[in-house]
Chains A and B, each alone.
Chain A
């Protein structure tokens, strides 16, 4: 990112101008500035490589208890004035919302996240990404495979100011390498995420993906049924992550559609399961405040198997008379507050030992296209992909053709064991998991 793009001074000057020209009773201005690059590869060559830069401001105007939101990336002085005026005008045409508590005021407690911004990652070039692709391709050739995936680096800045005195700024970097190793009848997957691109090792990740593809050759079909399953972190993230959409937020909790509704304080899963939202986890990629500028809290969602809390923004905190946990999404938001940084506490068994303990089961590397079947029962369906294996007498013995599952997330968490090592997968930090009686309903041809 060039020095002038997304700098604190530049963004705060825009915010100050927006607030100064607003005639609304209350005004919130939020800027998201992004400078993102990604190189995609397949058949061991780079087929897409992009660099995208944008800076967008949204203004929430409050007139009485009516609100309106306008957004624009035309952020010269005329653009700012037009944007603010547009937000004010549409706010006046909204309806009164007796539950709207007004914009939140400034609160202490925003913590610093040292290391959130890595200059080297911010300055990473297309050559650096191409070099990583070359490393991956070199490894694939050793195994007579080819790879598809991506190498990405990004810088995101968020700045918020409100007429209530809130003033926040965050700038952070992130990076990722995603590799699918592909053979004639099998595939394997590996991923790495870090705020620092230097932490990622493309060759090591390629080795991991390649070895899975090799081990999965000549896959056999598995009969549908219930199996002991060990799900590695990428698969577990996709499986568990659905809970954030359907039940960990105050909106679904209030309307009664959440599995948490009416069950706070009750044991809903096994005692070994603790699920938190923690923006500050050192492996994670969190931001220390939400999109209203409220300090994010660490929230125990499920603690030792007991439903503890959902997350709140200012609207639902006031409506449900609960403390604001700092989990607002950008306004306007039809989904309500949501946890963005799920952390699952680890267990005590290394993954390798967990596999050794399985007499007959299935190892899942990754899942795909998970969709909700039944919200209240948290039943989801999805497919396995890129590395499904049979476990026999404590050893991974054969590759399997992929399977469809229909399974209750909460049900599965009631019969699970968690591995000891935490890894980051996208925005989640979690271990691998062993689930008993996991329901595979059908198979596919590969």
Chain B
């Protein structure tokens, strides 16, 4: 394994200086981004980064240090620095941190893929986006047409003082088309696929199946049509959300509240805490009986799928909500003992140089049994909403308000006229308890979210929330424009 000797050198340094536990991660990332804007390649970038980091536990306190310089002198300096930081933290350590046991693994993992992006020339990729963007711009009235793709490769090696040695090679891809239409006093936009693109683990086949070419014109026409569409009404009514919007709803109102570090107050000053406190575990009705949510870091295609997390824990599917009842949290080795919950392998860092922390992994709402088109059948009056435009939720993850790009009136079971500026709002448990039907497996997609922010210093993580179109009863609609 590459970096094995360097890793051992760092672990030896940490142990010699007093670390009771230490782990080290070496990493290399390569991020390619191409974006076309109104017929011109506005961004063509290829970035790489490499380095390592050390996490040391001394007397019940953590220290963490990282560097891009992998010389022996720097390996020694950073290893020693992590220990010295831990010793400083131990002066204000409270009850002290302890780790739950985790098996030591010597293993490797590689993202399965069909088409290596490296086999698709840069010229072909640029040409594909130019063609897709041209389709969007063909819609009369589009102000800004865009198309983009991302290809992210991560190679990392993890080792810890308990004997784990894990090599991983991850590949993630995504792409989208987007239309912006500007009116006299209005701006409307549409994106496809989903809110910001289809992002999954896998190869170039992820980009091909997004099928931007066949959807660009429609997206452009919808953005323009929204400028003259009726305003979404205000009131209490039934709502059907597209799968990608449900995905964001899961992310914000199930994913984040069930991060155990938030529950314990470790994010209190920034990302916030959680209403889903430990006393609710096992008894709290989070949602209706239809609501089953699992964190599954092994889920095929899902954006956060890996073999092991950044503290060497094997990816293990774990229920968070079963039949509507809160039954689990996402936890790390330094928090799981507090709630007596299992590990799912969801502790991750943005890249080699950042501290691993509990992150929303693949938090999936299991598919229901209703064909997506049948969700409309017994809705007398409501709104269908698709693809997110605005999202906000309080710092305990209760009061939320979301806005979508596109709405359609629903009357007597039929999809009616287009509506602009659809918004809905609610309180998390009441909203999930109002869920009475979830689309079937045919409409279920592991939607990736490439830009989840958390932590200080701020880290961005790539998560997934698998979802199907879902129906909610008696929802507050349109309040954003009610003032």
Which positions in A face B, CB cutoff 8 Å? 36, 38-56, 58, 66-74, 86-87, 90-91, 93-97, 99, 125-127, 129-131, 133-134, 137, 148-150, 152, 178-180, 182, 189, 226, 255-257, 332-334, 368-377, 379, 381-383, 385, 402, 404, 406-407, 439, 441-446
Is A72 a contact of B49 with CB atoms below 8 Å? Answer: yes
Is A381 a contact of B89 with CB atoms below 8 Å? Answer: no
Q: Which residues of A contact B268 (CB under 8 A)?
A: 42, 148, 180, 182
Complex alpha-carbon distance, A54 and B47, angstroms = 14
Is B269 a contact of A52 with CB atoms below 8 Å? Answer: no
Complex alpha-carbon distance, A407 and B481, angstroms = 9
Q: Which residues of B contact A72 (CB under 8 A)?
A: 47-49
Contact of A44 among B89, B94, B391, B479 (CB under 8 A): B94
Complex alpha-carbon distance, A376 and B66, angstroms = 43
Q: Which residues of B contact A133 (CB under 8 A)?
A: 92
Which positions in B face A, CB cutoff 8 Å? 33, 35-37, 39-51, 53, 61-69, 81-82, 84-86, 88-89, 91-95, 97, 122-123, 126, 130, 143-144, 180, 182, 185-187, 264-270, 272, 275, 353-355, 357, 389-396, 398-399, 401, 403, 421, 423, 425, 427, 456-457, 479-483
A51-B399 contact in complex given A73-B68, A97-B40, A372-B390, C-beta closer than 8 Å: no
A130-B89 contact in complex given A55-B68, A376-B186, A441-B482, C-beta closer than 8 Å: yes
Is B37 a contact of A68 with CB atoms below 8 Å? Answer: no
Is B394 a contact of A369 with CB atoms below 8 Å? Answer: yes
Q: Which residues of A contact B421 (CB under 8 A)?
A: 373-374
Q: Which residues of B contact A182 (CB under 8 A)?
A: 265, 268
Complex alpha-carbon distance, A381 and B53, angstroms = 38
Q: Which residues of B contact A66 (CB under 8 A)?
A: 41
23 contacts between A and B (CB under 8 A): A41-B92, A45-B92, A47-B62, A49-B89, A52-B66, A52-B354, A53-B353, A127-B88, A131-B91, A150-B269, A255-B143, A255-B182, A369-B393, A373-B390, A373-B421, A373-B481, A376-B185, A382-B392, A383-B395, A404-B399, A404-B425, A406-B401, A444-B427
Contact of B392 among A42, A91, A370 (CB under 8 A): A370
A95-B130 contact in complex given A40-B456, A53-B67, A441-B482, C-beta closer than 8 Å: yes
Q: Which residues of B contact A385 (CB under 8 A)?
A: 272, 394-395
B80 to chain A, nearest CB (A): 11
Among B44, B130, B264, B481, residue most surrounded by chain A Cβ atoms (within 10 Å): B44
Q: Which residues of A contact B187 (CB under 8 A)?
A: 257, 374-376
Is A94 a contact of B126 with CB atoms below 8 Å? Answer: yes
Complex alpha-carbon distance, A121 and B456, angstroms = 19
When A and B form their complex, what is the total count of cross-chain residue pairs whose Cβ atoms lie within 8 Å?
273
Among B48, B82, B423, residue most surrounded by chain A Cβ atoms (within 10 Å): B48
Is B62 a contact of A49 with CB atoms below 8 Å? Answer: yes
Query: A45-B95, A46-B93, A383-B392 are known contacts; what are 5 more A-B pairs with Cβ within 8 Å?
Result: A50-B355, A53-B66, A53-B68, A97-B40, A333-B43
Contact of A368 among B43, B395, B480, B481 (CB under 8 A): B395
Q: Which residues of B contact A445 (CB under 8 A)?
A: 275, 396, 398-399, 427
Is B88 a contact of A379 with CB atoms below 8 Å? Answer: no
A130-B91 contact in complex given A149-B269, A180-B269, A402-B394, C-beta closer than 8 Å: yes
**Residue of chain B at shortest CB distance from A181:** B269
A216 to chain B, nearest CB (A): 14
Is A444 a contact of B46 with CB atoms below 8 Å? Answer: no
B337 to chain A, nearest CB (A): 14
Among A180, A368, A381, residue most surrounded by chain B Cβ atoms (within 10 Å): A381
Complex alpha-carbon distance, A127 and B395, angstroms = 31
**Residue of chain A at shortest CB distance from B143:** A255
Is B50 a contact of A137 with CB atoms below 8 Å? Answer: no
A24 to chain B, nearest CB (A): 13
Complex alpha-carbon distance, A56 and B50, angstroms = 10
**Residue of chain A at shortest CB distance from B122:** A93
Q: Which residues of A contact B94 (CB under 8 A)?
A: 43-45, 47
Is A126 a contact of B265 with CB atoms below 8 Å? Answer: no
Complex alpha-carbon distance, A44 and B89, angstroms = 11
Is B479 a contact of A69 with CB atoms below 8 Å? Answer: no
Q: Which residues of A contact B63 (CB under 8 A)?
A: 49, 126
Contact of B456 among A69, A95, A150, A407 (CB under 8 A): A150
Complex alpha-carbon distance, A334 and B150, angstroms = 14
A377 to chain B, nearest CB (A): 7
Is A444 a contact of B398 with CB atoms below 8 Å? Answer: yes
Is A368 a contact of B272 with CB atoms below 8 Å? Answer: yes
Q: Which residues of B contact A54 (CB under 8 A)?
A: 49, 51, 66-68, 353
A46-B44 contact in complex given A73-B49, A90-B122, A406-B480, C-beta closer than 8 Å: no
Q: Which residues of A contact B44 (CB under 8 A)?
A: 67-69, 90-91, 93-94, 332
B95 to chain A, nearest CB (A): 8
Q: Which residues of A contact B480 (CB under 8 A)?
A: 373-374, 379, 381, 406, 441
Q: Which residues of A contact B39 (CB under 8 A)?
A: 95
A204 to chain B, nearest CB (A): 17
Is B92 a contact of A369 with CB atoms below 8 Å? Answer: no
**Residue of chain B at shortest CB distance from A135:** B92
Q: Which residues of B contact A38 (CB under 8 A)?
A: 456-457
A362 to chain B, nearest CB (A): 15
Among A50, A95, A443, A444, residue most surrounded by chain B Cβ atoms (within 10 Å): A50
A48 to chain B, nearest CB (A): 6
Is B395 a contact of A70 with CB atoms below 8 Å? Answer: no
